[in-house]
């Protein structure tokens, strides 16, 4: 969800699956940013960017994925797949219901791997689709037993035979047969060595099956009962890589779709997969030739967008967005440009870089930028990113000298809430990591927080404005922290599913990535990935986000009960499996911070100077497997309730000087109080050569504003810097302070008490 020391974007190619209908499983927070698998990596300045995914975006649920994307063959522009109808993280979605059939027997993998011929077909027909969903996870001998070509061919011919009498619902178990075939293609794509190759025998059978289904009298019935099955059947076209053969199905659905009658019947879920068929069709050698020979599908896409323009800005606007994107994608082919250019220009002309039609404009403009940038003036999309920024990111707000909020639609109360959460996190973060200031050569003194209005706005507009992949829950873009003028930022969005309550998804996870990159991880993101550091980068962001907010990490607690990993294995975690990256990363970090603080300090000391090999030696050799048994016992306690409480974070010690106004290095003064209009004064003796002094205030009641003066007591009319938020969460960072005494004061804008003042340098 993420490059430029942004969320620490996984550098691995991610599963780019299009969960266009049933989607489950979610990720937590991603690398130095929190998100699901994030983009490959963005760049900030000349050096490789640190990009960390934000809270993990949802992984496709078993049963939702199609065949995987061939990432190696796709340019970055072509990895932007169509969006699912529901763009929210999976954990926010209502679990998809199985097709309307009751399970007649328990789901057992051996029931599929141990049967062949008609016995296999009857077994598939007898179970619920939730059982078949589990088969998407098969590997090894189980994958071969269930999905080798002989088995798939049998099921394909069974689908052919059943399709002749398909009544438009699942009473004849056509849905189970379709889903089983999808599962087979999916598993074989990722486990071809175990499953074996698929050849012309299966191709002949699957064509016969799809021909029979789409020749039936009820395949396009407009009904709830047919919608889910048709959606899976259209997805199966792509799974079997028969995109070219069934272009006529794509055109038929695009031309027949009517929002007035189809949406109430749930048929949008049957239509949206056609965009996947088009998207992945570009990977097949005969697909483009077929479109060139008969470009009428381009007219169908154009008419679809224009006819349904009223849906933009609503629940089904994603259909128009996907249609616009898939039409404009054909701009990449010189032979088709005379046809596609005027159609794309017309879609730009009937939309705008702001307002309800901005999604259509963004889709077209993004494609022009990828495929026909030299002619952007023809479309009116030159400087598209700037046009969109000024059109949609209209809210600018300064939280503190180091935090700026840029938003699409936050009001004053929401801005204050977000700022309070961010500024209050600083003191907590530093109390956990016990740092001595920024790492060397890190000039990222400010962070830009960009907040989109919804998950859909993020996926569409963040991609078009910032040029990132947005199939994640957010992204932190760090850039090169040593480059002059580098601007780190993280991108996130409002959780529209909790409204009228207000929440910014992954806000604190992503902010932790910024702080961690600045105070714990030397250099840019790629530097920190030279050895496995994902366990810390993502696990720590999760840990701080949950513990700072005092929220129980239910997903991690559930994972702990499974005892899936040893601690020594978690030190090897790489981006990929969301559960391991986020939930198990959280568990590993929490265990180490709470049980082996000295080891954490030693590892961070290596990370802060870029001694990645030294840190690796500490983790894999000095620690090694020594804590594995204790970690396993700790997991049991965690699952039994120990992790339901807020983590115990080592507190900063109280300052010991006799004068209670005197602060020191890495200490605090607690229970500070003052009445309205008065001050609590403090001073600090700064050693020569000190690079930074940081003062934070937190807790208590009332509202105290923090002031700094290098030459004498600080007052509201005598100060060099101040932090004046709506409560007691204030932070002042002084770079290269003068040697000798410097002064800070907490002014009671409203009488306060119980405040803690922490000093670090």
Rounded CA gap, 735 and 217, in Å? Answer: 74
For 644, phi and psi rounded to 5 degrees? -85, -5
- Closest by CA position to 570, among listed 633, 649, 623: 623
Give the CA-trace dihedral at 272, 278, 283, 287, to 10 degrees. Answer: 150
Can you say how many angstroms the Cα of residue 34 is from the centroid of all Cα atoms in its chain?
Answer: 7
HSE, side-chain direction, 13 A CA sphere, residue 122 = 6
Cβ(25)–Cβ(559) below 8 Å: no
Q: How far apart, in Å, are the Cα atoms of 387 and each of 14, 366, 394? A: 30, 12, 11
Residue 501's CB is within 10 A of a number of other CB atoms, namely 7
Structure tokens at 691: 């690079």
Rounded CA gap, 51 and 39, in Å? Answer: 8
Q: How many residues comprise the chain?
A: 761
- Closest by CA position to 698, among listed 427, 402, 434: 427
Cβ(426)–Cβ(758) below 8 Å: no
Structure tokens at 18: 């299009």
User: What is the Cα gyration radius of the chain?
Assistant: 28
Rounded CA gap, 244 and 292, in Å? Answer: 12
Residue that has been written with the tokens 């189809």 in this structure = 262
Residue that has been written with the tokens 């990113």 in this structure = 385
How many Å is the maximal CA-CA distance in the chain? 90
Rounded CA gap, 428 and 435, in Å? Answer: 12
Burial state string for 326-345 with b = 16 or more CB within 10 A and e = fewer than 16: bbbbbbbeeebbebbbebbb
Rounded CA gap, 745 and 712, in Å? Answer: 10
State the DSSP H helix or E strand holding residue 26, giving kind and residue range, or none if neither: none
The helix, strand and coil proportions of the chain, stated in percent and rounded to the nearest 5, come to 45, 15, 40
Give the residue numbers annotated as catalytic, written as ranges.
510
Rounded CA gap, 674 and 57, in Å? Answer: 46
Is the omega angle on the peptide bond into residue 439 within 30 degrees of 0, that is, cis? Answer: no
DSSP secondary structure code for residue 41 in this structure: -
């Amino acid at each position: 969800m993420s490059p430029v020391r942004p969320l620490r974007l996984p550098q691995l190619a991610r599963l780019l699956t299009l969960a266009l209908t049933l989607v489950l499983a979610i990720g937590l927070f991603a690398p130095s940013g929190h998100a699901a698998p994030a983009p490959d990596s963005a760049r900030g300045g000349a050096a490789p960017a640190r990009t960390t995914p934000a809270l993990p975006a949802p992984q496709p649920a078993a049963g939702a994925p199609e065949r995987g994307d061939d990432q190696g063959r796709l340019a970055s522009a072509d990895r932007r797949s169509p969006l699912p109808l529901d763009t929210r993280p999976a954990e926010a979605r209502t679990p998809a219901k199985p097709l309307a059939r009751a399970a007649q027997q328990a789901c057992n993998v051996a029931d599929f791997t141990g049967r062949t011929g008609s016995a296999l077909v009857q077994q598939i027909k007898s179970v619920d689709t939730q059982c078949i969903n589990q088969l998407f996870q098969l590997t090894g001998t189980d994958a071969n037993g269930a999905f080798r070509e002989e088995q798939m061919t049998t099921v394909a011919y069974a689908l052919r035979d059943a399709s002749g009498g398909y009544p438009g619902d699942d009473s004849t178990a056509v849905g189970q047969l379709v889903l089983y075939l999808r599962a087979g293609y999916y598993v074989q794509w990722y486990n071809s060595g175990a499953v074996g190759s698929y050849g012309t025998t299966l191709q002949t059978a699957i064509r016969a099956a799809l021909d029979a289904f789409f020749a039936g009298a009820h395949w396009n019935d407009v009904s709830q009962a047919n919608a889910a099955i048709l959606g899976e059947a259209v997805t199966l076209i792509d799974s079997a890589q028969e995109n070219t053969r069934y272009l006529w199905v794509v055109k038929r659905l695009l031309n027949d779709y009517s929002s007035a009658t189809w949406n109430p019947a749930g048929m949008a879920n049957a239509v949206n997969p056609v965009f996947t068929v088009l998207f992945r069709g570009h990977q097949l050698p005969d697909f483009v030739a077929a479109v060139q020979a008969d470009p009428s599908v381009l007219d169908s896409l154009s008419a679809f967008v224009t006819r349904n323009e009223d849906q933009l800005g609503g629940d089904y606007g994603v259909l128009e967005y996907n249609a616009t994107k898939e039409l404009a994608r054909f701009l990449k082919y010189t032979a088709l440009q005379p046809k596609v250019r005027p159609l794309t220009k017309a879609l730009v002309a009937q939309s705008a870089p702001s307002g309800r039609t901005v999604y259509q404009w963004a889709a077209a403009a993004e494609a022009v930028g990828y495929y026909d940038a030299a002619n952007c003036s023809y479309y009116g999309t030159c400087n598209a990113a700037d046009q969109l920024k000024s059109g949609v990111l209209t809210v600018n707000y300064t939280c503190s000298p180091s935090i700026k909020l840029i938003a699409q639609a936050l009001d004053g109360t929401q801005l204050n809430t977000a700022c309070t959460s961010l500024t209050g996190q600083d003191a907590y973060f530093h109390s956990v990591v016990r740092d001595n200031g920024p790492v060397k050569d890190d000039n990222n003194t400010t962070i830009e927080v960009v907040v989109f209005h919804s998950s859909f706005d993020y996926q569409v507009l963040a991609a078009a404005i910032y040029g990132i992949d947005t199939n994640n829950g957010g992204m932190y873009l760090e850039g090169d922290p040593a480059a002059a003028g580098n601007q780190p930022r993280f991108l996130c969005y409002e959780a529209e599913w909790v409204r009228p309550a207000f929440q910014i998804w992954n806000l604190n996870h992503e902010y932790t990535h910024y702080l961690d990159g600045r105070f714990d991880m030397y250099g840019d993101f790629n530097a920190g990935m030279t050895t496995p550091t994902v366990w810390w980068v993502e696990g720590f962001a999760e840990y701080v986000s949950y513990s700072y907010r005092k929220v129980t990490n239910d997903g991690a607690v559930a994972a702990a009960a499974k005892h899936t990993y040893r601690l020594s294995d978690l030190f090897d975690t790489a981006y990929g499996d969301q559960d391991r990256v986020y939930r198990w990363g959280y568990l590993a970090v929490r265990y180490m911070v709470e049980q082996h603080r000295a080891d954490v300090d030693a590892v961070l000391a290596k990370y802060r100077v870029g001694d990645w090999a030294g840190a690796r030696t500490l983790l894999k050799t000095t620690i090694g497997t020594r804590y594995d048994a204790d970690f396993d016992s700790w997991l049991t306690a965690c699952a039994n309730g120990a992790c339901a409480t807020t983590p115990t974070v080592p507190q900063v010690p109280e300052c010991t000087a006799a004068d209670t106004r005197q602060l020191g290095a890495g200490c605090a003064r607690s229970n500070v109080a003052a009445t309205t209009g008065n001050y609590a004064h403090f001073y600090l003796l700064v050693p020569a050569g000190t690079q930074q002094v940081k003062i934070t205030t937190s807790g208590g009641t009332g509202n105290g504003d923090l002031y700094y003066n290098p030459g004498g007591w600080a007052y509201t009319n005598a100060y060099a810097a101040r932090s004046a938020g709506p409560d007691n969460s204030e932070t002042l960072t002084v770079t290269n302070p003068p040697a000798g005494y410097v002064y800070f004061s907490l002014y009671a804008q409203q009488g306060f008490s119980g405040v803690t003042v922490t000093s670090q340098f």
